[in-house]
Amino acid sequence: MKTVLVGINAKYIHPSIALYQLKANTSYEVKVLEFTIKESIDKIYHAIIGENPGLIGFSCYLWNITLVTKLTRLFKTYHPHIKILLGGPEVSYDAEYFLNETKADFLIRGEGEVAFDRLLKVLNEEINEPDLASVPSLSFIRDGKLIATPMVLADLNKIKIAPLTVTDYQKRILYLESSRGCPFNCSYCLSSAEKRVRFFPLEDVVNIIRNAIEARVPVVKFLDRTFNINKKYFLTILKLIESENIESVFQFEIVADLLDKEVIGYLLTVKQRFIRFEIGIQSTNDRVNAAVNRRQDMQLLKKNILALRQNSNIELHLDLIVGLPFETKESAIFSFDEVISWRPTELQLGFLKFLRGTRMLDLVDEFGYKYHKIPPYEIIRNNLLSENDLSEIKKVEFVLNKIYNSKWFPKTLDFLFLNRLIASWYRFFLAFYGYLQDQKFSFSSYQRDTLYSLFANFLSETLPGYSEKLTFLVIQDYLDKAKTRPKKWWKDFKIIEKHELLPLVEDKIKPFTKEDFYRNGLIVTSEKEIYICFFKNFTATSFLIPLH
């Protein structure tokens, strides 16, 4: 019986690593097919049927479950003899509902390597009377009743880590895991379902890391929920990567208040730009965190993050969640302003989701939650945050992503932060959103120069005493991000002819020549400085020169 495993990914860059794990841990023939949610159901359907499968397995997540449900119903309507298997976090905690909704034959709850291999053995070798009860972690409907076999957690010493079988990792993220489980108990997170942390053999993890480095995979992201829970393991892997890495970036999810002086000391010595840490803050309000069983030492967490900020080679991605119990709009604003003041590389402003299998569902009535019953199950309101409050915060999220997380305005933002010109970044971003609305800005479709121009104008109106300086910085950011000579949207501060400028700058713009200066140089002159940007080979090279 031919088995086809199907991954329908949110984006092409995110491969379905779970399917490759299943394939690596069975001796039976398995074909993996990957698609994205943007592809048509007709295309996906015919691609799968073209493989002539006897069993189709779908990896189910909140972003693809609607599409998966449509596909399974099609298969059961036109090819009822084909067996359908579901797995993944979206379906693992409500098996009966999803078996009935999708018309699937089987559903594996939780991790699937052992169960999947056993199911294939049963279906391939026990054709007449397959012993489904012998398959662990399996759910199915028999005579109208749900049957659920006991859950089994695998011995990770016996589980193979999937090899680099995807051939186009130059364009995709490589997902790896060195452990499973989480020692923490956060009510909003599915990882809290398994509190015991199990580790893959270090040798196996090291081998796959070396393979990724050798293949020059651009981004490797570890799926471990708390990568630094085991300090020895954590440091061993980091030091290995530092000693052998060529150009890959490795992303880890860590708990910042678990970092001690030894680890901080090591991280401050890292000279390569290969580390990207994702750190969940969620809220700076201790009462809010306690309500969802999240315990963190905020003072130590802040201290450690500020320490890590001293090493510009380490990227810090911090997360906040809006809508947790006891969170008011005022406390959400405080958390936002506090965390962004730490100057993370990126700040993600997320909104609470009510995932099946999490304890947040037990708190719905107590805190008056209303949430969407379809994916992504996001909060609508609760007894402290109105729909208008959440709509306002989403406006701030938009500006945060376009102005801060986009990295389009590094020089401008550095100046604003260093000079402490913004009292509240939340209110500043909200005001800019209102300004964009007043200017009839097209939020869904706009040109890059339009956003730069509007931001410069907004800064001039908001901070008139710094108008020229800030506009000059926005122009620099605009030019630095261009690959070819861009559209000019500003008025010159001071006009000086090129032949007058050349003697002042000729010895400062090497290796660019006089010919480059006249042909490719774009010049912006303020009262005190000259900014010259050259565009050659789809690269911008800039020079900031004092004007005496």
On whether the CB atoms of residues 93 and 120 are closer than 8 A, the answer is no
Beta-strand relationship, 370-371 and 314-322: unpaired
Residue 415 maps to a domain = no
Of 99, 132, 148, which marks where a domain is finished? Answer: 148
Domain boundary among 342, 377, 399: 399
Neighbour tally for 465: CB within 10 Å: 8
In whole angstroms, what is the distance from residue 154 CA to residue 152 CA?
A: 6
Do residue 530 and residue 390 come from a single domain? no
Least confident of 121-135, 223-237, 432-446: 121-135
> In Å, how far are 18, 234, 287 from 323, measured between CA atoms?
30, 32, 13
Would you say how long the chain is, in residues? Answer: 548
391 burial type by CB count under 10 A (0-12 exposed, 13-18 middle, 19+ buried): exposed
How do residues 206-215 score in pLDDT, each as one tens digit?
Answer: 999 999 999 9
Asked, for residue 292, whether it belongs to a domain, the answer is yes
Q: What is the mean pLDDT of residues 133-146?
A: 96
| In a shared domain, residues 528 and 379 | no
Cα separations (Å) of 404 from 320, 400, 412, 417, 542? 15, 5, 10, 12, 22
Q: Output 63-68 pairs: Cβ under 8 A, ≥24 positions apart.
A: 63/10, 63/37, 63/375, 63/376, 64/8, 64/9, 64/10, 64/37, 65/90, 65/91, 65/98, 65/375, 66/374, 66/375, 67/8, 67/37, 67/41, 68/8, 68/102
Give me the CATH number covering residue 64: 3.40.50.280
3-state class (DSSP) for residue 35: strand
- Domain residue limits at 387: 156-399
| CA-closest candidate to residue 3, choices 45, 40, 58, 44 | 58
Q: What is the pLDDT of residues 400-420, one digit of tens each?
A: 999 999 999 999 999 999 999
- Within this chain, do residues 77 and 172 fall inside the same structural domain, yes or no? no
Helix (H) or strand (E) holding 436: helix 425-438
On whether both 309 and 234 belong to a single domain, the answer is: yes
Q: Where are the beta strands (DSSP E) in 249-310?
A: 249-254, 275-282
> Do 27 and 128 share a domain, yes or no?
yes
d(CA 205, CA 214): 14
The residue type of 482 is A
Measured distance CA(11)–CA(173) in Å, rounded: 10
pLDDT beyond 80 at 128: no
Of 148, 175, 206, the last residue of a domain is 148
Question: Token match 């208008």: residue?
Answer: 388
Strands 173-176 and 219-222: parallel
425 inside domain: no
User: 188 and 55, same structural domain?
Assistant: no
What would the two tokens of residue 263 be?
């680890």
- Residue 483 and residue 341 share a domain: no
Query: Do the beta carbons of residue 535 and residue 484 sit within 8 Å?
Result: yes
Domain count, the chain: 3
pLDDT at 246 over 80: yes
Residue 178 lies in a domain: yes
How many angstroms separate the Cα of 8 from the Cα of each of 5, 66, 512?
10, 11, 49
Q: The whole model's pTM is what?
A: 0.93
**Considering only 119-133, 352-366, 427-441, which range has the smallest mean pLDDT?**
119-133
Same domain, 222 and 336: yes
Q: What is the pLDDT of residue 149?
A: 98
CATH number at residue 267: 3.80.30.20
Q: What is the DSSP letter of 533?
A: E
67 shares a domain with 18? yes
**163 shares a domain with 107:** no
Indicate if 84 and 214 belong to the same structural domain: no
Q: How confident is the model at residue 492 (pLDDT cuts 50, 70, 90)?
A: confident
Question: For residue 52, what pLDDT band results from cuts at 50, 70 and 90?
Answer: very high
Would residue 389 count as lying in a domain?
Answer: yes
98 within domain boundaries:
yes
In a domain, 199, yes or no: yes
Asked if residues 317 and 276 have their Cβ atoms less than 8 Å apart, the reply is: yes
Contacts of 136 (CB under 8 A, 6+ apart): 114, 115, 118, 149, 150, 151, 152
C-alpha pair distances (Å), 164 with each of 160, 172, 179, 275, 280 = 12, 12, 18, 21, 29
| 252, 222 Cβ separation under 8 angstroms | yes
pLDDT at 240 over 70: yes
What is the tally of helices (H) and strands (E) in the chain?
A: 18, 20
Task: Indicate if 387 and 532 belong to the same structural domain.
Answer: no
Examine residue 23 and state whether it is found in any structural domain, yes or no.
yes
